Each structure stands twice: as C-alpha cells, then as structure tokens.
Structure 1
Amino acid sequence: MTVAADTFGPLESAGPVLVWIIVLMFVFLECALIVGLFLPGDSLLVTAGIVLATHDAGAQHTWALSAGAMSAAIAGNQVGYAIGRRSGHHLVARRNGRYVNAANLHKVNVLLDRHGFWAVLIARWIPWVRTLCPMVAGAANMDRRRYTIASSIGAVVWAPVLLLVGFYCGSLLERVPWLMPVVLGVLVTLLAVGTAAGVWGYRREMARPAEDVVVDEVHD
C-alpha cells in the first residue's frame, strides 16, 4: 500500500462523492450569492482535479464534473441575475465593505455598460467580479439573452480548464509517491482554512451598515 493510500484512505473511498458535492455547491454559491465572494472557487476546482487524479476513473470523473460544474455555474448566474433584476436598479452595498461596497458595484456597472457581452466573459476569471456581475447585470437591466449567452460561454470554458489543470497536475504528482499526499494535505488544509476565514469575513461584511446603490441601466 502506498503512502498516499495510507494517508488518504477515506478520501480514496468517498473522494468522488465528496468532491462532487463540495464543488457543485461552491460553484453555484460563488455565481449566485454574495457569500460566494468569500469562497475559494478557483483553487477549489484545481484541487478537485488533483484529488480526482488519485482515482482509477479520475479522467471520467473529471470530465463529468466539468459538465456538472458548468451547469452549476450557469444556474448560479441565472439566480444572481434574477436577484438583481428584482432589485429594480437598487442594490445594497456595505459602508467600508471589503468587496460589497458602492465603489466595486459601480466598477462592475461601468464595465458592463462599456463592454457588455465581453465584460461578462472577462468577469468569469475575476473572483469578486464573477459574483457581483450577475446581480449588477440584472439590476442594470442588461439584455437577458446576451447575458445568458455570455455567462454560459464563460462557464463552459472556466470550469473544465481549472479542473483539467488540476487533474493533469495531479497525474504528474502521482509519479512521485511521497509528493502527492504532501500536496493534497496542504491544499485541503488551505481550502478548509480559506473557507472558514471566508465565512467569518462574510459575516463581518454583512454586519457593516448598509447603503443603497443605484445602478445605471446598461446600454448594450
């Protein structure tokens, strides 16, 4: 039995199920709700790919999870857009907030107004913009068809790229038996600490005084 198997026995047996549940939940939340601003979405997808590389059917799981993560991201984007649309050009910011502040909402608003379709594609690769973009797009009354096409294309590229990067990195790490458990241990620890810190940061952010922000309509 290898060191990796000894160290990650439970992960070997329940790994794919746990990875699926955690990845789909995090991806959806990051694309739909403010709490997603504080979750380690990109690093989670890469780590998930590395974990799946330790399994015999890792390639199949990785491609299947890519499709699932794409679907979760698309669904999350639609939920975020609907939340913004219901706000009627008004979003709630936080005074002196780290992310959910008037300045950041205005930056996303300007980005969408100037670049429209392409801004939604670019937003997929910028963590805090990725979460704020759907709500701002909805509040700014961006054309839903154009938004849906752009956000869906972004999701189709984003999730598989990061998962496959992790998977192929994991495949390389598998060639060095002692290195895989070390890398996995560090990554899983960082994700757990990052998630806990993110939840704490979210609670702090939401505890700050609220202020109303008027979002300008997007002319795309």
Structure 2
Amino acid sequence: MEQITDFFQYIMNSEEIIQTGGLIAIVLIVYIENGLFFGFFLPGDYLLFLSGVFCGLGLLKVNIYLLLMAIFAAAVLGSYTGYLSGYFFGEALENKKENLFFKKKHIKRTKKYFEKYGSRTLIIARFLPVIRTFAPILAGLVKMKLVNFSIYNIVGGGLWVGILVIGGYYLGDRFPWIINYVHWIIIFFLAITTFTVLKGYFSAKQEIENEL
C-alpha cells in the first residue's frame, strides 16, 4: 500500500518527474492525460510549464525544439486515442444499464453540448484539467467528423503546448531565480485551473439544462 501511495505522490510531483524521468516521463504523462480516461488527475498544465522552465534553466538537458515537438506529438496522439476509444466503444457506454453512478441523461447532455460547442470545446478544453482528458472521448462518442476533430486537435494542442512550454522556457532562461518559486507556481496553476473548471462546469451544466 505504501508503494502505491509513493507512486501516486511521484506522478503528481511535476518537479520530480522532470528531474528523474526526463523527456520520456513528460511525454508519457502528457499522452495519458490527453486521451485515457484514467489519466484525468495527472498534472498536465504545470508539467508543461515547468518542463519549459527547467529547459530554460538547463536542468532538463533537452533542446527546446525537441521538447516542443515531443510534447506536441504526445498531446495530439493522446487525443486521437481518446477520440477513437469514444468512437468505437461509445455505444457500449450508451447501452449500459443505469445505476447510482451512471445516468443516461449525462450522455444526452454531453451530446447537446458538443452539438452546440463541439469544435470550440476541443481548443478551450486543452487549458482545462479533467475536461482536457474527456473532451476527445466525448467527441468520438458523438461521432464528430475526423477531419474536424483533427483540425481542432492540432490547433488546440499547438496552442496549449506552445503557450505553456515556451512561456516557461522564456522565464527560466531570462529569470533563473524563478527556480526558488516553483512551488508557488504550482499552487498558482492549481488555483486558476480549479476555479476555471468549476466555473465552466456549472455554467455549461446550467445552459444545457435550460435547453433540455
């Protein structure tokens, strides 16, 4: 049990992941968080930002262009994995019997949401924890066209990776003392993303319920 606890503490610690796992660990976590439903809790935003900071400081021995391309590929491929899983296995979810934890009205609300906001959702969702993981799966579930999904997947992935990694790299390169404030950066990201997710969730829920 203690080993399991230690493992989860490790994967939630972006600073330790970068220092011990390097590029491989970063890419793997980004891939899982962007397309596999059980990866929704992984630290995507501040992992990207801190990887840029560490690269700028020289603590992560990877060329910035390689870092950008590797993370971008992981984000895009991860979302394709989520889309395909939703596309091919979504019917099994729709036919699932209702129970305490599963209600078909949630599927209906999801379809309504993607019918109205689908394309834009895939870009905005990149910057929203949890939603970032499930948006590609739900896009596949509602059978969004692959061409449309691909466009917004690539654009959204590019913006997400570019803004966070390049922003972190710039700060790490120009302001090396930022390493002393890593924990405050993580707290800042957590506060902002938590607020955004909760606000977006309740706003979308209210709008969808008004339409039903």
Shorter-chain TM-score above 0.5: yes
SS of the residue aligned with 1:78? helix
The gaps in structure 2 that reach 5 residues or longer are: 1-17, 191-212
Instruction: Give, in angstroms, the shift of residue 43 of structure 1.
Output: 0.7
User: Higher Cα Rg: structure 1 or 2?
Assistant: 1
Check if 1:39 corresponds to 2:42.
Answer: yes
Richer in helix (by share): 2
1:190-217 Cα offsets, whole Å, 9 max, x none, are 69xx9xxxxxxxxxxxxxxxxxxxxxxx
Once the two structures are aligned, what percentage of the paired residues are identical? 24
1:80 to 82, 100, 117: 82
SS at match of 1:127: coil
Check the 8 A contact 1:121/1:150 in 2, yes or no.
yes
Q: d(CA) in 2 for partners of 1:131 and 1:28?
A: 10
Q: In structure 2, do the counterparts of structure 1 residues 159 and 102 end up closer, same or farther at CA, with 3 Å as the change threshold?
A: farther
Distance across 2 between alignment mates of 1:81 and 1:128: 15
What's the counterpart of residue 167 of structure 2? Answer: 165
TM-score by length of 1: 0.64
Aligned to 2:146: 144
Aligned to 2:205: none
Equivalences for 1:65-214 in 2 at 5 Å? 65-91=67-93, 95=100, 108-174=110-176, 176=177, 180=179, 182-184=180-182, 186=183
List gaps (5 residues or longer) in structure 1. 1-14, 195-220
After superposition, the Cα gap between the structure-2 partners of 1:43 and 1:101, relative to the gap in structure 1 and judged at 3 Å, is farther
Aligned to 1:39, the other structure's residue is in SS state coil
> 8 Å contact 2:52–2:168 — kept in the other structure?
yes
Which structure dedicates a bigger proportion of its chain to strand? 1
Question: Paired residues, what number?
Answer: 169
| Offset of residue 89 of structure 1 | 3.2
Question: In structure 2, do the counterparts of structure 1 residues 46 and 103 end up closer, same or farther at CA, with 3 Å as the change threshold?
Answer: farther
Contact map agreement 1:47 1:187 (CA 8 A) in 2 = no
Paired with 1:118 and 1:89, the residues of 2 have a C-alpha distance of 24
1:19 and 2:22 correspond: yes
CA contact (8 A) 1:52 1:167 kept: yes
Assess, with a 3 A threshold, how the Cα gap between structure 1 residues 30 and 57 changes in structure 2: closer, same or farther.
Answer: closer
**Equivalent residue for 1:54?**
57
| CA gap 1:103/1:124 in 2 versus in 1, 3 angstroms | farther
